């Protein structure tokens, strides 16, 4: 079987899984209806009642769905069996596979063979935290024992112990190139020992293919990620920086997994504030149509216009008139608007360039026409309600707060633009998975958008929408991150400060003496931008985090600096041993990767977890798990390096022996770290 076929199996299996999940959801809502007996006559309290005829129909539907689930389950089981057969034959597979998944499939099959009557038996595989008890464990025997005892209560059957259950399961586990042996502990845990040759095969394939890739975990989708999204004329602040960094990393991850990703910058470039900005522009630079106005400090310009707007009635009137003209796309006013947006755009772009972040700008203004359309659609379908002159829309339930789709003055809102945007992303862009990376303060807004989009049948059961929120950035005083004078911190200044601090750090280590100017500058940028990104990504994004250059630039602990150093050090091992790339390449075929020493095996087991880490990070969209993994790789590597000679030297410092099997392990570790860095947006340098 070729890898392409494997890919196809994986995709179809996860497709079947998606369908099953969709069906399960439908079934659950049918069950809910059945359970609360919402049949006309039984329950008078709400509009959710169902007539007797409908009820019979639902019941039939229910039976059909159950049947389809059974069929799909069987198909899925077959796919999984094939998948095991394919993926555990590592000689064909250039991608790393998930150990957790493979073990789960193997044990699921064994359990269902031993207990064919148990529906959905628990399959619980975990890593073992003590090598004495194997590398992984299957913890299913105890819960199965409990299940059996409740099932058998009436039949007075002889009790069976967890240990007996575990033994029965272990005996049925199919032989696999992944598993060395199983043993059953008294309490019924099954200890799983991985085969070292399995690790050697995986790493050989990584080295041979010259890339670290993982077998597809979920079906490839069209993903749309809305991130960064600053506002024109307002400061792009640290909140936007978080969104930019987290969003970029999620995009990198999903691109790496083969998804078709669209990175959208939903810039706040439309709305009433432009009325006052344009009016102020007209007053200050009447020739703006022919001469480009020299506004460099757009924030100050914004402040001035806001002051006029609040104090000068005549100005305010003209500002409102300009909003109307803007929405009617009056050419002169459009030009003023464009000039203002261009100033912001340049500033934003310089930040993106420095951080090496790609985005497609599609701001709120893009949706003007689409907003008109969605209002019409929602109105026609009866989703809008009058509320003191506004037009509002409730989500699937009437608790919480509704969206304001049209304001009293007929204008549109942030809600309108997000409804228009979601419709465009689903219908025009054919997005299947929508991700919004926005501060947690907007969680309710996006929940309501999701609920309304479902109610309006824009989002269907096979679409996925994820709100990726994050906490606020605090200063070292644990208060909201501000400059000493109390202003919001300008991002460009923050990045400059990062560069300055990184330079100091490198000079402290006298790096300017050993690096060329070019190398030094490259190292400086790598450290500065790397540490800012990493400090953000390595925390659980839901929590607030304290911005501290001192902490992020420390070369100890879980920081970018430590990791970047670790990688250059690992990379230098082969160089110091005078082993060329050519020699490494040749050794892949001839030398087994050394995994006999306890520390070698420990490192190998961490590296083998990569697909499982990727799976978790993808599921939760939580990059800190990937950061923790990098840190663990670096620490375990240093433990290995302290205990295992890669190169032996004599007293004169001459190399007497190179342990090639270990150099290969070193090479795999470096490749793995590089892959993780690329997902995190860190740029490693050869020397630092």
Nearer Cβ to ligand ARG, position 221 or 266?
266
Task: Tell the smallest beta-carbon distance from residue 495 to ligand ARG (Å).
Answer: 19
Residues contacting 583, CB < 8 A, separation 6+: none
Question: Of 95 and 231, which CB lies nearer to ligand ARG in the complex structure?
Answer: 231
Give the nearer residue to ligand ARG in terms of CB position, either 436 or 641: 436
**Residue whose CB is less far from ligand ARG, 268 or 431:** 268
Q: How far from the centroid of its chain's Cα atoms is residue 561's Cα?
A: 23
- What 3-state class would DSSP assign to 171? helix
Task: Compute the least distance from the CB of residue 195 to ligand ARG, in Å.
Answer: 48
- Minimum CB distance to ligand ARG smaller for 229 or for 322: 229
Q: Using alpha carbons only, how large is the chain's radius of gyration in Å? A: 30
Q: How far is CA 124 from the centre of its chain?
A: 24
Beta strands in 407-521 (DSSP E): 433-437, 464-468, 473-474
Distance of alpha carbon 295 from alpha carbon 483, whole angstroms: 23
CB closer to ligand ARG out of 335 and 442: 442
Tell the smallest beta-carbon distance from residue 485 to ligand ARG (Å).
23
From the CB of 460, what's the least distance to ligand ARG, in Å? 20
Phi, psi of 547 (to 5 degrees): -85, 115
In the complex, what is the shortest distance from the CB of residue 418 to ligand ARG, in angstroms, rounded to a whole number?
A: 5
User: Given the structure tokens 């490693």, which residue do they identify?
Assistant: 684
Nearer CB in complex with ligand ARG: 449/527: 449
The nearer residue to ligand ARG, 233 or 588, going by C-beta atoms, is: 233
- Cα angle 334, 338, 339 (rounded to 5 degrees) comes to 120
HSE, side-chain direction, 13 A CA sphere, residue 573: 28
CB of 223 to ligand ARG, least distance (A): 15
Residue closer to ligand ARG (CB basis): 236 or 630: 236
CB of 370 to ligand ARG, least distance (A): 13
Q: Which is nearer to ligand ARG, 167 or 418 (CB)?
A: 418
d(CA 688, CA 3): 39
Instruction: Enumerate binding residues for ligand ARG (CB under 6 A).
Output: 226, 229, 231, 266, 268, 418, 421, 436, 438
Exposure string over 516-541, b if 16+ CB within 10 A, otherwise e: eeebbebbbbbbbbbbbbbbbbbbeb
Q: Cα(266)–Cα(231) distance, rounded to whole angstroms?
A: 9
**Separation in Å, CA 91 to CA 165, 205, 668:** 34, 8, 17
Tokens at 226, concatenated = 């809305």
Among residues 232 and 323, whose Cβ is nearest to ligand ARG?
Answer: 232
Least distance in Å: CB of 191 to ligand ARG? 48
Residue in 75, 436, 598 with CA at minimum distance from that of residue 67: 75
In angstroms, what is the minimal distance from the CB of 228 to ligand ARG? 9
CA separation for the pair 561, 104 (Å, rounded): 37
Q: Which helix (H) or strand (E) holds 181?
A: strand 179-184
Task: List, in sequence order, the alpha helices (H) in 538-659.
Answer: 549-552, 560-576, 581-590, 598-608, 610-620, 624-643
Q: Which residue is nearest to ligand ARG (CB)?
A: 229
- As measured in angstroms, the least distance from the Cβ of 606 to ligand ARG is 37
Least distance to ligand ARG, CB of residue 609, Å: 34
With respect to ligand ARG, which residue has the nearer C-beta, 271 or 402? Answer: 271
- Choose among 443, 468, 464: nearest CA to 454: 464
The least distance separating ligand ARG from the CB of residue 399, rounded to whole angstroms, comes to 22
Q: Residue by residue, what is the 3-state secondary structure of 638-660?
A: HHHHHHCCCEEECCCCCEEEECH
Mapped onto helix, strand or coil, the DSSP state of residue 179 is strand
CA distances from 683 to 392, 412, 436, 464, 536 (A): 47, 42, 25, 31, 16
């Amino acid at each position: 079987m070729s890898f392409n076929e494997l890919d196809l199996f994986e995709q179809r299996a996860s497709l079947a899984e998606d369908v099953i999940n969709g069906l399960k959801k439908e079934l659950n809502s049918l069950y809910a209806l059945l359970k609360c007996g919402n049949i006309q006559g039984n329950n008078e309290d709400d509009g959710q009642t169902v007539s007797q005829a409908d009820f019979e129909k639902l019941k039939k539907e229910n039976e059909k769905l159950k049947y389809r689930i059974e069929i799909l389950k069987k198909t899925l089981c077959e796919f999984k069996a094939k998948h095991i057969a394919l993926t555990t034959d590592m000689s064909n597979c250039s991608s790393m596979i998930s150990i957790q998944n493979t073990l789960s499939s193997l044990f699921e099959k064994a359990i269902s063979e031993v207990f064919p009557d148990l529906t959905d038996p628990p399959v619980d595989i975990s890593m073992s935290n003590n090598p004495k008890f194997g590398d992984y464990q299957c913890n299913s025997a105890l819960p199965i024992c409990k299940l059996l005892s409740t099932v058998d209560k009436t039949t007075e059957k002889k009790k069976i112990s967890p240990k007996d259950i575990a033994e029965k399961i272990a005996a049925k586990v199919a032989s696999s190139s992944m598993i060395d042996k199983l043993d059953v502990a008294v309490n019924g845990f099954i200890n799983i020992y991985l085969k070292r040759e399995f690790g050697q095969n995986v790493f050989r394939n990584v080295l041979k293919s010259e890339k670290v890739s993982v077998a597809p975990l979920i079906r490839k989708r069209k993903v749309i990620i809305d991130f960064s999204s600053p506002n024109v004329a307002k400061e792009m602040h640290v909140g936007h920086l978080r969104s930019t960094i987290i969003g970029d990393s999620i995009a990198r991850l999903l691109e790496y997994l083969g998804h078709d990703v669209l990175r959208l910058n939903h810039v706040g470039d439309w709305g009433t504030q432009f009325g006052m900005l344009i009016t102020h522009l007209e007053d200050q630079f009447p020739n703006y149509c022919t001469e480009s106005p020299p506004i460099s400090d757009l924030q100050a310009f914004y402040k001035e216009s806001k002051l006029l707007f609040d104090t000068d009635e005549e100005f305010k009137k003209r500002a409102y008139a300009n909003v109307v003209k803007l929405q009617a796309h009056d050419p002169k006013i459009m030009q003023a608007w464009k000039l203002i947006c261009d100033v912001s755009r340049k500033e934003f772009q310089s930040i993106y360039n420095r951080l090496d972040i790609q985005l497609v700008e599609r701001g709120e203004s893009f949706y003007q026409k689409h907003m008109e359309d969605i209002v019409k659609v929602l109105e026609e379908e009866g989703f809008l309600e009058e509320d003191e002159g506004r037009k509002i829309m409730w989500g699937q339930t009437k608790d919480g707060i509704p969206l304001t789709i049209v304001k009293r003055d007929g204008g549109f809102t942030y809600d309108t633009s997000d409804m228009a945007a979601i419709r465009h992303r689903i219908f025009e862009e054919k997005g299947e998975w929508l991700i919004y990376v926005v501060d947690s303060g907007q969680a309710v807004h996006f929940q309501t958008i999701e609920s309304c989009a479902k109610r309006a049948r824009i989002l269907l059961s096979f679409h996925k929408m994820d709100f990726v929120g994050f906490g606020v950035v605090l200063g070292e005083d644990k208060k909201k991150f501000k400059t000493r004078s109390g202003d919001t911190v300008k991002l460009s200044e923050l990045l400059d400060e990062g560069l300055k601090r990184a330079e100091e750090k490198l000079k402290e280590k006298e790096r300017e003496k050993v690096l060329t100017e070019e190398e030094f500058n490259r190292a400086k940028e790598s450290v500065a931008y790397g540490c800012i990104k990493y400090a953000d990504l390595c925390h659980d994004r839901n929590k607030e985090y304290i911005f501290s250059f001192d902490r992020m630039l420390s070369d100890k602990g879980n920081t970018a600096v430590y990791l970047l150093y670790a990688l250059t050090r690992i990379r230098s091992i082969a160089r110091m041993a005078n082993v060329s790339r050519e020699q490494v390449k040749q050794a892949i075929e001839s030398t087994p990767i050394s995994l006999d020493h306890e520390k070698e095996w420990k490192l190998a087991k961490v590296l083998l977890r990569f697909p499982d880490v990727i799976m978790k990070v993808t599921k939760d969209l939580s990059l800190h798990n990937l950061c923790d993994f990098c840190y663990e790789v670096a620490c375990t590597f240093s433990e290995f390096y302290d205990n295992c000679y890669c190169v032996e030297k004599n007293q004169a410092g001459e190399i007497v022996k190179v342990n090639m099997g270990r150099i290969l392990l070193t090479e795999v570790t470096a490749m793995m770290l590089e892959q993780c860095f690329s997902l995190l947006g860190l740029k490693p340098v050869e020397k630092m």
